[in-house]
Every structure is written in structure tokens, then in C-alpha cells.
Structure 1
Amino acid sequence: MEKARWAVSSGIDSARVRETGRSDADPLPWERPDEAGPPGRQPAGARILGAGLRAAVLLCLVTVVVHLGAVFLHVAPPNPVSRKYGRQVDAWVFPLFEQNWRLFAPNPDSVNRRVLARTARTAPDGSTQVSAWTDLTALDRAAVEHDPFPSHTAQNLLRRAWAAYVDAFGSDDTARSPRAVMMRKYLGNIAAERVAGHRGGTFDFIQLRVVTLPVAAPGTPPGGRPPAPVENRILPWWKVTPHGK
């Protein structure tokens, strides 16, 4: 009986040894070409996506730091750093990020200004076709009237662009600084976009006319005689990017 039990036990052990030997000879899971790679290793696409996200986050952080530094140097008192990098700071800040202190010391307009624009294009026969005047200020007012959430750009973009133009040019229209040239292009682009969005059509030149009117006295009836303009300033024709083509 003891020999029989030993034989059975020996047979089982031999079978296990043979089975274990065959298992050890098999290739490892990651050595098989038809199976996935070693555990814990990400696919190439996931690694590329992760690297791209990290690069995008780093780029955003660098942009924020540069922007805050440029704005700080712009509003800070003159110092060696702002004097050395003044041109780069102005190129970054103007005209989209211009800073002023009117939020804390408001300087409201004491007059009413109407900005009008007309356009011109060269016809196929060589003649110049000039449009009628378009009241851009009236368009802005109509866009915000009765609107509980009026657009900031509709209220102030054109007005602030004209104020910046006057600050850069003064009473004439001769550019004497790179900033003046930039503000002229900025104002012209705003006017061209407003005209193109209002009536469409094609044009290559634009001209602005700014009519300054005094503020009506309190108690003046709405249908009374309109006040005489204080200033009627017509700017030169400006070449703009062709619109409507």
C-alpha cells in the first residue's frame, strides 16, 4: 500500500514538473508579438498628448507672466527697466491693453461727438465711386439702446479710439511718431469694420468726419433747434484692407 501511494504521488509530482517546465519555456507576455506591451507603459499617442498639454500650460503661464510684467512696467513710474524696454512694452500694450486711471478719476465728455464715415472704391472703368456718410455713432447707440447687457465695445471702442487719435495727432493729421501711425490704422480699421458690417459692399478707402456738438442745456425741449457744431473735422482719405471682396 505504501508503494502504491508513493507511485501515485510520484506520478503527480512528475506531471507537475513537466507542466512547469513547459510553462517556463513559453515566451513572456511582452515578448509575444500579438499581445500588449509590458504593464505600466503608456501608448505613444497618450505620451504625445500629455507632452502637448504640458507645453500648452507652460506657454500660457509664460504669456501671463509676460503680460503682467509689461502692464506693470507701463503703469509704473519711470525706471531703468522701463526705459530700456520701453519700445517693447509699448508694442505689447498699445492699442489693445492701454491703461488709464479714469476708472478712479472719471473725466466724462463735456461735448457730444458724432463719428461719420464714407468709403470709396475704384470702378472697373477707372472712375472713383464715393458712398454717402454713415453715422457710426448712431449705430453704436442703436446697438446698446434698450439692451440690459450692452456691449462694452459698442459703447466705448470707437469713442476711445478717437480720443487716442486726438491725443496722438492733436489738431492736425500729420503723424509724428510710430504710435500716431498705429492709432491712425487702429481707428481706420474700426471704422472700416463698422461700415462693412452695416451695409456691406466693396471699398478700398475710408474717410472719417467728426462733428462735435455742445451738450444741450437742461430743460431744452427735444424738438428744439439743434445746437450749432463746435467743430466739424474731416480727416484725409485712408487706404484700408479691401472689404467685401
Structure 2
Amino acid sequence: MGATTLPDRWSRKAVTSLAATALTLAGALLVHLALVFLSIAPANAASAAHRNTIDAYVQPEFGQDWKLFAPNPMQRNDAVGVRMRTRSADGRYHVSDWVNLTAQDIETVRGNPAPSHLHQNMLRRAWDAYVANHSLKNDIPKGARGRLTGAYLKRVVLQRTGRSWNGGRIVSVQVAGRFSLVDPPSWSPETPSDTTDYRLLPWWPVTEQDNRGL
């Protein structure tokens, strides 16, 4: 009798376990979809009341570059680069060649079936936030947010360069951006743009505090 009932008990336990797992996954999926939907939906009472929770979950892995009912895809090709001033053990200084950080991120993403949003968007968003919060002339920050975006961009860049370069300790960095508009499709009457815009930021000193936690 025990030999015939024991498998039945195992079967019931397996079904119960599978059902619980399915309900948990379904619940997690519903929560995920709800939070992502609220992040791209037009302003409403629910998104306003839970904005901190929504942002904490969605950013940076599930962030969207467009809003529901008002998509705004990228219309330009961006490239952000950096060059470094280093100090060697004998005290001599050296300035490196320019390093295309955007190209490095693209190479990391290419061929990856599940690419990280960090590699796709972190550098670009850090640059966009900096540009939006600094004057074009003299790169003067616009209030506290401007100073914060400057520090953030520097730390994002230092995440990619590390503390040293070619055997020398990095003592300062200079960031630059290059931008060109995406050519219109062949059927469009628009004229392709033949101009490229550049923006060169000032040299930023690098301290131990800048590298802390990276």
C-alpha cells in the first residue's frame, strides 16, 4: 500500500511546488510590467505617488529612451572619448592618445543576446546630463545639479579607464564628444547632414576620492 501511495504524495507535492513557482513568476512578471509601464506612461497619480520606487527599479537596467504615445528614438550618432594625463614612477607626466569609450561599449554589446543597459546607455546619459546642465561657454555648471552631473560623468569615465594607464597613475582626464545626425532613409526627401559637432571639456583633476568605490 505504501509503495502505491508514496508516488502519489510526491506527485501532489510536485504539482503544488510547480503551482507556487508559477504564481510567483506570474506575480513578478506583473509587477515588472506595471513598473515599466508607469515609467513610460504620461504623468498620472500612481506614477507621481510611487516615483522613487519606480525609478529605483527601472533604472538603469530597464530604462526606456521614449515615452508611451510619444516615442523619441535616437536621431544622431554619438561618440564620447577621453584622454588621460598620467604620472610615472619617476615623476614624469605623459598625455595619452584619445580613447573612444563609446566604441568600447558598442564592442561589449555587439553579439551579446542580453546586453546590459549599463553598457548601452550609462555613458551617453551621463554625457547628455552634463551637457544639459552646463553652459556651452566655459562649461559653467547650472546650480547643484550641474556640479553633480559633472562629478557623475567623471566617475563613469574613470570606471572605464581605471586608476592607471600604460604604467602611469592617472592624475587628470579630459572628455570630449563627437556627434553627427543619422542619415535619413533612402525614400525620404530630407538631405543628409554632412556636419559633425564636437565639444571638448576642460581637464579634470583625478583624486583618490574620485576613484573610491569604483
Give the TM-score band, short-chain normalised.
Answer: 0.5 to 0.7
Contact 1:116/1:133, CA 8 A, preserved across alignment: yes
Quick one: structure 1 residues 204 and 229, their matched pair in 2 at CA, closer, same or farther if it must change by over 3 Å? Answer: farther
| Structure 2 alignment gaps of length 5 or more | 1-43, 187-192
Alignment of 1:1-245 (within 5 A): 76=48, 102-104=66-68, 105-123=70-88, 126-172=91-137, 173-196=139-162, 201=167, 202-218=169-185, 228-242=194-208
| Structure 1 alignment gaps of length 5 or more | 1-71, 78-88, 220-226
Identity over the aligned pairs, expressed in percent? Answer: 33
Q: 1:107-143 CA distances to partner (integer Å, 9 max, x unpaired)? A: 2221111001011123455542111111000011111
Distance in 2, Cα, partners of 1:121 & 1:197: 10
1:169 is paired with a residue whose SS is coil
TM-superposed deviation, 1:175? 1.4
Alignment match, 2:10 = none
TM-superposed deviation, 1:199? 6.0
Bigger radius of gyration: 1
Distance in 2, Cα, partners of 1:101 & 1:115: 18
TM-score by length of 1: 0.51
Contact 1:116/1:210, CA 8 A, preserved across alignment: yes
Quick one: structure 1 residues 106 and 199, their matched pair in 2 at CA, closer, same or farther if it must change by over 3 Å? Answer: farther
* Matched length: 148
Contact 2:85/2:94, CA 8 A, preserved across alignment: yes
Distance in 2, Cα, partners of 1:162 & 1:183: 8
TM-superposed deviation, 1:205? 0.7
Quick one: structure 1 residues 215 and 197, their matched pair in 2 at CA, closer, same or farther if it must change by over 3 Å? Answer: farther
Quick one: structure 1 residues 218 and 199, their matched pair in 2 at CA, closer, same or farther if it must change by over 3 Å? Answer: farther
